[in-house]
Amino acid sequence: MALNALALAQARRGQAAGALQTARQALSIAAEIEDPKGACYAHYARALAYRHGSDWEDAIAAAGQAREQARLAGETRLGFLAAAVEVLALFELEPLSERGHALARERYEASRLYPDPLSQAMAGLGMALSRGAEDRWAEAITLLETALGRAAQHGGWVFLTQLHLTLGVAYQQAAQTSSARVQMETGLKLARAADAFPFTAELELRLGLLEGRSDVSELRFERASALGLRGLAARLRLALAAGERVRGHDRAARECLLGINVAVLDGHEREFWGFLRTLLDGGEARPTEGPWEGLARALLGAQSLSYRLTTLEGARLIGAQELARLRESPGAFDLYLDLPGQLARERERGEVPLLRRKVLTRMLMALLRAQGPLTQEELYLAVWGPPYDPESGGPQVRKNMSSLRDLLEPDRVAPRYLLVQEGAFARKGGYHWAPERTFCLIEEAPTA
C-alpha cells in the first residue's frame, strides 16, 4: 500500500514517469500476493499518469484494468473512481466517443443502486461529461452541481478539484462567466494547497482564457514539458504564442506556434491553433468558439491598426494585412527593421544581429524617426535620457555610432547609411540617415 500511495501522490502532482515506475513495482508485489485491491490502486495511478501525459489510449486501458481489479476485490467505490477517469480519457481521446457515452450511462444507472454519495458523485461526473460532449451544458451543470454537493464531505482534493474545473468549463460553455470564475478559483485554491502542478497550471490558464488574456509564464511551459505533461505543455505553449502575438512579437509567436504538438490538442484548441496561424500569416481569421473564444476576440480586437510604420515618407498606422505584405518582401528596402517580428535586415548583408543590442537599436530608431540631423546631445538624450554631460556623453555617442556602423554598413570606410552632417560637432550639426537610402521601421502602435 505504501508504494501505491507514493504512485498516486506522484501521479497527482504530475510526476508521470516516477508514478509509472512506482506503479509497476506495486503491480509486481500485488501479483505476487494476489491482491486485487492493490492492483486496482496501481492501475488507477497508471491511468492518472498516462492521462496527465495525454497518452489517452494507455490511460483508458489502465483505467479499465483498475475497474476489473476493483470488481474482483469487491471495491465498488474504487470501480466508480476508475470509471470516472476512463470516461474522462475516452472523451479527451474522442469528443463524441460512443464508448464514453455508453460507460457513462452504465455507471450512472449503476450508481442509483449503490447508496454511496461519493460513488454517485463520480458517476455524476462521467454523465456530465457525456452531456457536455453533446453540448447539453444545462444538464451537465445540474449533474456537476449535484456531484459536488455529494462529494463535498467525502471527496479527496483531486476529485473535488476535477469537479470544480469541469463545472467551471461547463459554466463557461453556458456563457455564465461569473459562475465559471468562482468554480475555477475554488479549484485553484485546492490545487495550490496540495502543490498539484498539473491542476494549478491548468486552472491558471483557464482563468486567463475567461478574461480573454494570455499571461502564461515560460517557466510553467518548461516545467510541464520536463514532467512529460504533453497536453498541458501544448496548451501552455499555445497560450504563450497568443501572448507573443498580443505583444506584437510575431516572429516569436510563429516559432512558438509551429513548435506545438498539435496531435495532443483537443478540437477547440486545434481550431484556435489554426486561427492564430491564419492571423500571423495575415489572412482573414474568424474567432473560434469554446474556451479560447475570448482570447481569439481579444487578438482580433488588438490587430486593427496595431502597428506603426515609418519610412522616408513619414509615419502612419497600419493593420495586420499590410504588415503581412511588407513582410513578404523585406529585401525591397535598404534597411528593414521589424521590431514585432524580431528581424533586422540590410539589403546586402541580409539579417543582422541588431535587435540583441538594445542601445544600438534605440540609437538607430532615433535617427530614423528624426528624419533629419541630430546633434550628439540630442542623440544621447533620445537613447539614454537626461542629464547630458559633453565630457562623457559625446564619446559614448561616438563609440556606439561606430558599433552601429560595424553592424549595418557594407563598407565601413565609406558609410552609405549613417552619415555625419558637415559641422557635425557644431551646435546645430549632427548624425543623420542618408536621405536617398530607403528604410522600413515597424513598431507596435502606441496605446492610448
Question: CA-CA distance, 103 to 83, in Å (whole number)?
Answer: 8
- 3-state secondary structure (DSSP) of residue 424: coil
Question: CA-CA distance, 384 to 386, in Å (whole number)?
Answer: 7
DSSP H or E run through 282: none
Q: How confident is the model at residue 441 (pLDDT cuts 50, 70, 90)?
A: very high
Query: Roughly how many angstroms between the first and final C-alpha of the chain, as a whole number?
Result: 61
Q: Which of 218, 212, 216 is nearest to 272 (CA)?
A: 212
Q: Are 343 and 251 in contact (CB under 8 A)?
A: yes
pLDDT average, residue stretch 323-340:
88
Q: How confident is the model at residue 188 (pLDDT cuts 50, 70, 90)?
A: very high
Give the pLDDT confidence score for residue 329 in this predicted structure.
Answer: 87
Phi-psi region of 309 (alpha: psi -120 to 50; beta: other; left: phi over 0): beta
The more confidently predicted of residues 283 and 368 is 368
Give the ranges where 174-303 is alpha helix by DSSP (H).
Answer: 177-193, 197-210, 218-226, 230-246, 250-258, 267-280, 293-303
In this predicted structure, the answer to whether residue 204 has a pLDDT above a threshold of 90 is: yes
Give the pLDDT confidence score for residue 426 in this predicted structure.
Answer: 45
Sign of the dihedral through C-alpha 138, 141, 143, 146:
negative
- 3-state secondary structure (DSSP) of residue 369: helix
In this predicted structure, the answer to whether residue 319 has a pLDDT above a threshold of 80 is: no
Domains of the chain: 1-155 (1.25.40.10), 308-444 (1.10.10.10)
User: What is the percent of the chain where pLDDT is above 90?
Assistant: 28
pLDDT average, residue stretch 309-319:
84
User: What is the percent of the chain where pLDDT is above 70?
Assistant: 95
Q: pLDDT (tens digit, 9 = 90+) per residue, 245-256?
A: 877 678 888 899
Q: How confident is the model at residue 428 (pLDDT cuts 50, 70, 90)?
A: very low
Q: What angle do CA 230, 234, 240 make, to 5 degrees?
A: 145
Give the pLDDT confidence score for residue 424 in this predicted structure.
Answer: 47
Question: CA-CA distance, 167 to 125, in Å (whole number)?
Answer: 9
Q: Which residues contact 140 (CB under 8 A, 6 or more apart)?
A: 128, 129, 131, 132, 170
Mean pLDDT over the full length of the chain: 86
Question: CA-CA distance, 87 to 122, in Å (whole number)?
Answer: 10
CB atoms within 10 A of CB 328: 9
Give the pLDDT confidence score for residue 180 in this predicted structure.
Answer: 92
pLDDT average, residue stretch 426-443:
81
Q: Are 129 and 166 in contact (CB under 8 A)?
A: yes
Q: Residues 101, 107, 110, 116: what is their CA dihedral angle, to the nearest 10 degrees? A: -140
How far is residue 277 from each of residues 42, 250, 331, measured CA to CA in Å?
Answer: 42, 10, 23
pTM above 0.75, yes or no: no
Q: Which residues contact 420 (CB under 8 A, 6 or more apart)?
A: 429, 430, 431
Q: pLDDT (tens digit, 9 = 90+) per residue, 109-167?
A: 988 888 888 888 989 999 998 998 888 999 999 999 999 998 887 778 888 999 999 99
The more confidently predicted of residues 446 and 22 is 22
Q: pLDDT (tens digit, 9 = 90+) per residue, 292-309?
A: 888 888 787 665 567 888
How far is residue 330 from each of residues 58, 339, 346, 439, measured CA to CA in Å?
Answer: 48, 13, 9, 10
Give the pLDDT confidence score for residue 427 in this predicted structure.
Answer: 43
CB atoms within 10 A of CB 32: 8
Phi, psi for 336 (deg, rounded to 5): -120, 120
